[in-house]
Structure 1
Amino acid sequence: MMIEAVDLFCGVGGLTAGLQRASIKVKAGYDIEEQCRYAFEFNNGSLFVNKDVSLVENSEISQYYSKGAVRLLAGCAPCQPFSKYNQGKDTSLDKKWPLLYSFARLIEANLPELVTMENVPDVVKHQVYQDFVTKLKKLGYYIWADAVTCADYGVPQRRRRHVLLASRLGQIELIKPTHKENWISVKDVIGHLPKIKAGEQSKNDPLHRAVSLNELNLKRIQASKQGGSWKDWPEELQLACHKKRSGSTYVSIYGRMKWDEPSPTMTTQCYGYGNGRFGHPEQDRAISLREAAIFQSFPDDYQFHPSDVKMQTKDVGRMIGNAVPVRLGEVIGLSFHRHLQSLSYGDKTDR
């Protein structure tokens, strides 16, 4: 039985690419960021609709599904209001808060057989999420939801995300971890890439480029060890804030990754050496945009902008950091196929 999907808040297509790897046809993706259109359509062959999800009409979604298909509505609303990085900040006026309510509205209007959403683990602490789950239950959905360690499923990254699967057809759950005792390491996925220096770009891949470092930061990374941090530096290279008690706990800032472990969580500023543990394990630079995309389990040749268009590093970094890891999307898709198989809807299995 064919599963067809519409991907709300689709971005550059991380979830879509993963679902399509799992043989789920994504008919359309919606996102407010027009810059995401090229990556979404070029890599996935699906329609991109540049529209605020809160403005999508209830009847609009149904046009994309074929008669007889099992319908999946996916919606990974922007996570910034729910992130731990916003703890202590007043996000009550954040325009992203109502987006989960818009998603619930579209579910209620269309009653797709399957639903998925993904967000930061702290989303469960907020009333909008509790209201979302309550609405699904009232609509007759069976729900599985939990925090997932992405490395347990083959994502080369220590990312933790909250995943929700829902079905009107019966009990559902995420497939069992595929890599729990065998995490994929930094070296496994980027060890083959050509060496570049800070401020350089690979001749063969415009996305394999690293931001430049000033003389002081170059000295700092040269003084850093694999898996180390600013604590490796001589005192004259340390920042004033590091010497304060409050700063001494931020050991990942200006850190290098380890070859034999997964990467840290990719953020929208993961290309910056001083923004976290984003130093290359050996080369004296921050990770490149291509490396960040690979840690998000995008294929090595995934294109984020046309070759004749130069995009700002910060814009591409935001696209990559905001994406759903492709492999996590694939795992979600395989879980839906396993669910249908258990109900005699199909014969897909996890792999």
Structure 2
Amino acid sequence: MPTAIDLFAGLGGWSTGARNAGIDVLWAANHWPVAVEWHGANHPDAIHICQDLHQADWSKVPAHDIMLASPCCQGHSKARGKKSGSAQHDASRSTAWAVVSAAEFHRPEVVLVENVEEFTAWALYPAWSQAMAALGYMIAPHVVDCADLGVPQHRVRLFLVCTRSKAPLNLQLHQREHVPASSFIDFDAGKWSAVEKPGRAESTLLRVKNGRERFGDRFIMPYYGSGSGLTGRSLDRPIGTITTLDRWALVRGDEMRMLSANEALAAMSFPADTKRPDNHRLTMHMAGNAVPPLAGQRVIEALLRAA
């Protein structure tokens, strides 16, 4: 069985996808104790370490065939806002260098990196890719809407397929039928409140009004933001991108509620039996940062077919 390690493992989207693709995940790391705790709960057979990976001793990490990595994307994402001079911004971008450090020591056959599309616009991306090339890796960037891989969510992400080969390995990612949001939303569950209640923002009421006109009594809408926030979204489509904060609201007649943590995990394609914190905010934070397991699985399956 092929083996893998998971850097910046979070809740375990990469690890779950890898396991479902027949990969044995040997080791996983994250700097956040909560993430390590819950990754461990879902992947008890893997070795876990809670550490800043800039300080990792790679000699203590088991040899592996595939390195999975999802470096912090906040420094690259357009959703983050204009704070390019902050220390947090610089630190979040620099996590990508841990991938180079680990690859230099272990030289696995494949390194799979997931991030936002803007990662390749990072000022140091040319230097990062040159460093990987110096280690013998050819890089094939794949920009993928995870909905096209069967995830019930429109989530455009960059997958860098880095292989120790003579030419970049471009994967054949077969487009799947889109899975609608109705597949995971339970309108009979959750805590609902009246749409028309004191303190409800006028912009929210306008979104509800526009959504009703277009979709009827039941639909999804962003609670804030632009784009589809002006009219809502049909339940017959995948939901929009799940973020680390509550964003999506459900409307049922004259009532509404926010998407539940379990629904958010389902939108990310995590299995129903995924162990998670009872705390809603923690779960949403980890879900919004995760690699959708089904997307990871499809990428790895395509890699195995091409090998």
TM-score range, shorter chain: 0.7 to 0.9
Q: State how far apart, in whole Å, the 2-side matches of 1:139 and 1:176 are.
A: 26
The 5-angstrom pairing of residues 1-351 of structure 1 reads: 2-45=1-44, 46-61=46-61, 64-65=62-63, 71-91=65-85, 93-94=87-88, 95-169=91-165, 171=167, 172-179=169-176, 182-191=177-186, 194-198=188-192, 215-217=198-200, 220=204, 224=208, 227=211, 250-253=226-229, 256-269=232-245, 271=246, 275=247, 278-282=248-252, 284-305=256-277, 310-311=278-279, 313-340=280-307
Counterpart in 1 of 2:221? none
- In structure 2, the CA distance between the partners of 1:110 and 1:44, relative to structure 1 (3 Å rule), is same
AA matched with 1:49: I
| Higher radius of gyration, 1 or 2 | 1
- In structure 2, the CA distance between the partners of 1:218 and 1:33, relative to structure 1 (3 Å rule), is same
1:7-45 deviation per Cα after TM superposition (whole angstroms, max 9, x unaligned) = 000001011000110001111110011111332122223
CA contact (8 A) 1:221 1:254 kept: no
CA contact (8 A) 2:207 2:232 kept: no
Q: State how far apart, in whole Å, the 1-side matches of 2:207 and 2:144 are.
A: 35
1:194-214 deviation per Cα after TM superposition (whole angstroms, max 9, x unaligned) = 422237xxxxxxxxxxxx996
Q: Give every structure 1 segment of 4 or more consecutive aligned residues whose post-TM-superposition deviation is greater than 6 Å.
A: none
Percent sequence identity over aligned pairs? 25
For structure 2, list consecutive stretches of 5 or more residues without a partner in the other structure.
217-223
Quote the RMSD (CA, aligned, Å). Answer: 2.8
- What SS class does the counterpart of residue 124 from structure 2 fall into? helix
Q: Per-residue deviation at 1:331?
A: 1.3
- What SS class does the counterpart of residue 144 from structure 1 fall into? strand
Counterpart in 2 of 1:203? none
Q: Per-residue deviation at 1:143?
A: 2.0
TM-score by length of 1: 0.75
- What SS class does the counterpart of residue 118 from structure 1 fall into? strand
AA matched with 1:280: L
CA contact (8 A) 1:221 1:279 kept: no
The structure where strand makes up a greater share of residues is 2
Q: How many residues are paired up? A: 290
Q: State how far apart, in whole Å, the 1-side matches of 2:74 and 2:299 are.
A: 22
- In structure 2, the CA distance between the partners of 1:174 and 1:224, relative to structure 1 (3 Å rule), is same
CA contact (8 A) 1:97 1:128 kept: no
TM-score by length of 2: 0.85
Q: Per-residue deviation at 1:167?
A: 1.2
